[in-house]
């Protein structure tokens, strides 16, 4: 069993970095707060006597050697947050991985395989798209130089920020060999809580499609410009945003779609907007339905912009196919959770996770614990201490079984 | 006849202050650029030997004495702009008033009544609402202390900015006596150009209703939050913005309505917006229709916010009834324009103007000149030199007749 007191204390300490009034955290990727959060975790990793490896993209892996060399059994997640995030999203997975390893240390248990925990850079994608950027670069799915050049919401690049916070390490990216990967994460949705279960054995992650649309119309006087002469970029964006909502019901299969970004220029009461920028986040567990939704949205955008005479620029910010996890791994997690006496179910993930990228290179699955009220990406995000502890115990035994 | 070369040169010089790349101006009220624009105009007023009076709200009146004392015949307008404005909106009226007075100087003409030109503070209302703020305070319709306390889009107050730019003068506000008021302005719409007319004798200004809505929902994860559990402030705002467009067609009578401001928080791709702020600008020449539109919008807002479970906060930013101008003044302007050989029509104003406030205290009317393509509040705003000249000549003769 893990040391719950230590795990919860660290969660609290990490949650004090970039703390927001009223609760929650702002540690956007590659910010000063992100650096401070990494620094404190790195300190704990070093204090646990682990081998630290920082790669060219700032992904930090801390390894406890096994009796044999070879690919490690790995836990991992992220410590960056959205602008108004909670203290569990990502952090719990990293700290529970570390906690499991320290529990092995404390108990003096030797394993055949090395056991590692990785803190991946920029999982959230809130400041720099795509999300899961660190694991993507780690896995080799996104070339390092391309990732360095990505511009964020404030116009600066990933590379200059990584350099500024001093997290460009020596280890190469890509070509990593991992025996198996397990990520503990809060569910961020309401299902486990609704059903009164403690552990979710995650079967897969839904597909994610992020597109940014920039509409260009013509700024004009709000009082003197007849409606028939308008080319209102803000209006086009509003119709698209309303359509994105309708698209969820039209698509079905639990489809979710969201317009999270909405900006207009010049953003003044008596000026018809000349420019509008919005993002559409579409998700579905069925890739065909996701593609259909994407196509319908494209058609709607072209139609409404065309009727208003506005120009459209589109940019794909992220596109991930639905990812099924390794069934052997899912079964294993389900079995361990039951054996430990936790009420358990198989579940699907609505959020993107580093695990879905790691699934490209090794057998992978995830452990979910309940989110109170299903709330996440919100400063009120909360998971009960006993549930954090339960998840970390399932993590410990999963790592132990895999590492033999 | 006025000195067109001098008028156009000054328009150009003033247009260089706060100039934007690609043309146009940004001289938001009480900004450093606004101050610089005022300074240059004040210099010309002083050089013309006029009596300068700056009131507690920064309204600047330059007076040429008449044979008799008593209320002046006044021209006037503003020199502040929206964030992406043109160089004619407001500026032409101030500089044409000054030009008319200097023409009287050059020709050595004495008038019975004093002739004055006033530069009113913050007509645009783009940074601080309501619009026509300077003339409102001048007229006594808005108490000075209340106006000082108004917060702008950047959170600072009118009072602190007026102080910063050094335009709090000694003259009291309110209780001003004016014999008659004439404002020359660009039409900012397409009617004169469409009909090939040079001069519009403005019969009145439509009613203006500005409301700011702030919706509060619940920030949530875009991937894990089922559609049924969302309280999406951005979605509510988008539906309202789309409705504001439909409202124009539903209301009729040339109704225009615009959502110029649209902001969401936290404004991130994978976070359901927690907050959204929009403005609605509704205008109609018929106050009953305007009230109906306001009521329908209120009902729509309550309905859609209620269905989403979002809270609504509303703030009236401006509300002006439709204002008819003095028919004797309108006839006079129409007659003078015809006598001077300009193709003329009676016309209504879609934009708000200081003249509609001055109409509360003295016989008032306006002179319009064409806007190319009807474009205004846009850096491409343009009025032909010969039209500026024509408007200033009508202004000169109107002032002359009124001042005897
Ligand atoms: N787990 C998580 O919040 N990931 C961020 C990427 C996403 O939007 O799903
Ligand atoms: N003339 C003008 O642009 N006034 C600004 C106020 C308005 O929006 O009508």
pLDDT tens digits, B365-374: 999 999 999 9
Q: Cα A356 from chain centroid?
A: 10
Nearest ligand 1 atom to the CA of A124 is: 5
Ligand 2 within 6 A of CB of B123: yes
Q: Which residues of B touch A249 (CB under 8 A)?
A: 227
Nearest residue (CA) to ligand 2, atom 8: A270
pLDDT band at A175 (very low <50, low <70, confident <90, very high): confident
Percentage above 90 pLDDT, chain B = 93
Q: Which residues of A are documented as binding site for Zn(2+)?
A: 78, 89, 124, 185, 377
pLDDT tens digits, A282-323: 999 999 999 999 999 999 999 999 999 999 999 999 999 999
pLDDT band at A252 (very low <50, low <70, confident <90, very high): confident
Return the residue in A271, A276, A316, A320 with the most chain B beta carbons within 10 A, the one to mutate for interface testing. A271
Return the residue in B236, B269, B278, B372 with the most chain A beta carbons within 10 A, the one to mutate for interface testing. B269
Q: Are strands B180-186 and B311-320 parallel, antiparallel or unpaired?
A: unpaired
pLDDT tens digits, A253-268: 889 999 999 999 999 9
Contact: B377, A272; criterion CB under 8 Å: yes
pLDDT band at B254 (very low <50, low <70, confident <90, very high): confident
What's the pLDDT score for residue B18?
A: 94
pLDDT tens digits, B266-308: 999 999 999 999 999 999 999 999 999 999 999 999 999 999 9
Statement: residue B175 has pLDDT above 90: no
Detail the DSSP E strand segments found in A227-292: 256-258, 262-265, 271-272, 275-284
Residues A303 and A311: their CA atoms lie apart, in Å, by 11
Question: What sign does the dihedral A229-A233-A235-A236 (CA atoms) show?
Answer: positive
Q: What is the arithmetic mean of pLDDT over B166-195?
A: 95
Coil, helix or strand for A176?
Answer: coil
Nearest ligand 1 atom to the CA of A132 is: 6
Rounded alpha-carbon distances, angstroms, from residue B353 to A131, B121, B184: 50, 12, 10
pLDDT tens digits, A132-173: 999 999 999 999 999 999 999 899 999 999 999 999 999 999
Residues B235 and A257: their CA atoms lie apart, in Å, by 11
Contact: B126, A270; criterion CB under 8 Å: yes
Best mutation site among B224, B270, B272 for ligand 1, i.e. most ligand atoms within 8 A of its Cβ? B270
Percentage above 70 pLDDT, chain B = 100
Distance from residue B123's CA to the centre of ligand 2 (Å)? 7
Note whether B24 and B82 are within 8 A (CB).
no
Contact: B206, A188; criterion CB under 8 Å: no
> Is B89 annotated to bind ligand?
yes
Nearest residue (CA) to ligand 1, atom 4: A352
User: Mean pLDDT across chain A, nearest whole number?
Assistant: 95
pLDDT tens digits, A110-134: 999 999 999 999 999 989 999 999 9
Return all residues near A208 (Cβ < 8 A) that are at least 6 apart: A131, A281, A282, A283, A318, A319, A320, A352, B223
User: Mean pLDDT across chain B, nearest whole number?
Assistant: 95
Q: What is the arithmetic mean of pLDDT over A181-202?
A: 96
Q: Could you say which of A220, A226, A263 has the minimum Cβ distance to residue B267?
A: A263
Beta-carbon-side half-sphere exposure of residue A325 (alpha carbons within 13 Å):
31
Rounded alpha-carbon distances, angstroms, from residue A283 to A104, A122, A194, A323: 38, 20, 22, 12
Return all residues near A373 (Cβ < 8 A) that are at least 6 apart: A190, A193, A380, A382
What's the pLDDT score for residue A130?
A: 92
Beta-carbon-side half-sphere exposure of residue B319 (alpha carbons within 13 Å):
8
Coil, helix or strand for A77?
Answer: strand
Distance from residue A373's CA to the centre of ligand 2 (Å)? 47
Nearest residue (CA) to ligand 1, atom 5: A124
Distance from residue A214's CA to the centre of ligand 2 (Å)? 27
Q: Could you say which of B235, B260, B317 has the minimum Cβ distance to residue A272?
A: B260
Residues B13 and B30: their CA atoms lie apart, in Å, by 19
Ligand 2 within 6 A of CB of B353: yes
- 3-state SS of chain B is CCCHHHHHHHHHHHHCCCECCCCCECCCCCCHHHHHHHHHHHHHHHHCCCEEEEECCCCEEEEECCCCCCCCEEEEEECCCCCCECCCCCHHHHHHHHHHHHHHHHHCCCCCCCEEEEEECCCCCCCCCCCCHHHHHHHCCCCHHHHHCCECCCCCEHHHHHHHCCCCCCECCCCCCCCEEEEEEECCCCHHHHHCCCEEEEEEECEEEEEEEEEECCCEECCCCCHHHCCCHHHHHHHHHHHHHHHHHHHCCCCEEECCCEEEECCCCCEECCEEEEEEEEEECCHHHHHHHHHHHHHHHHHHHHHHCCEEEEEEEEEECCEECCHHHHHHHHHHHHHCCCCEEEEEECCCCHHHHHCCCCCEEEEEECCHHHCCCCCCCCCCHHHHHHHHHHHHHHHHHHHC
Q: Could you say which of B221, B237, B260 has the minimum Cβ distance to residue A377?
A: B221
Q: Which helix (H) or strand (E) holds A51?
A: strand A51-54
Distance from residue B127's CA to the centre of ligand 2 (Å)? 12
- DSSP for residue A210: E
Task: Name residues contacting ligand 1 (CB within 6 A).
Answer: A 89, 123-125, 131, 351-353; B 221-223, 270
Q: Which residues of A touch B258 (CB under 8 A)?
A: 222, 232, 270, 272
Distance from residue B130's CA to the centre of ligand 2 (Å)? 10
What's the pLDDT score for residue A22?
A: 87
Percentage above 70 pLDDT, chain A = 100
């Amino acid at each position: 069993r893990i040391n719950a007191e230590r795990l919860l204390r660290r969660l609290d300490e990490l949650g004090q970095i970039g703390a927001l009034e009223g609760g929650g955290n702002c540690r956007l990727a590659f910010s000063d707060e992100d650096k401070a959060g990494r620094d404190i975790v790195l300190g704990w990793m070093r204090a646990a006597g682990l081998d630290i490896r920082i790669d060219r993209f700032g992904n930090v892996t801390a390894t406890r050697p096994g009796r044999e060399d070879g690919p490690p059994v790995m836990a991992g997640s992220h410590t960056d947050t959205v602008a108004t995030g909670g203290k569990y999203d990502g952090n719990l997975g990293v700290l529970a991985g570390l906690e499991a390893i320290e529990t092995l240390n404390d108990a003096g248990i030797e394993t055949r395989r090395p056991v590692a925990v990785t803190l991946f850079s920029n999982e959230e994608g809130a400041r720099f798209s795509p999300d899961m950027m660190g694991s993507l670069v780690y896995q080799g799915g996104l070339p390092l130089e391309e990732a360095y050049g990505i511009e964020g919401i404030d116009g600066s690049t990933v590379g200059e920020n990584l350099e500024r916070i001093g997290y460009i390490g020596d280890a190469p990216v890509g070509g990593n060999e991992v025996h198996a990967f397990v990520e503990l994460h809060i569910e961020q949705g309401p299902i486990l809580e609704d059903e009164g279960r403690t552990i979710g054995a995650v079967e897969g992650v839904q597909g994610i499609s992020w597109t940014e649309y920039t509409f260009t119309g013509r700024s004009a006087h709000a009082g003197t410009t007849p409606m028939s002469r308008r080319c209102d970029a803000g209006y086009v964006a509003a119709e698209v945003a309303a359509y994105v909502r309708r698209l969820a019901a039209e698509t079905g299969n639990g489809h979710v779609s969201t317009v999270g970004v909405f900006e207009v220029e010049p953003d003044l009461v008596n000026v018809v907007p000349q420019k509008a920028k919005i993002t559409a986040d579409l998700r579905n567990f069925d890739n065909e339905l996701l593609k259909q939704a994407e196509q319908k949205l494209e058609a709607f955008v072209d139609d409404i912009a065309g009727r208003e005479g506005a120009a459209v620029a589109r940019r794909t910010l992220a596109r991930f196919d639905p990812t099924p996890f390794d069934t052997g791994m899912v079964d294993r997690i389900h079995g361990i959770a039951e054996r430990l006496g936790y009420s358990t179910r198989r579940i699907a993930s609505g959020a993107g996770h580093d695990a879905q990228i790691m699934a490209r290179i090794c057998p992978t699955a995830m452990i979910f614990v309940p989110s109170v009220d299903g709330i996440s990406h919100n400063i009120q995000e909360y998971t009960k201490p006993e549930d954090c502890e339960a998840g970390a115990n399932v993590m410990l035994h999963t790592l132990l079984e895999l590492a033999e």
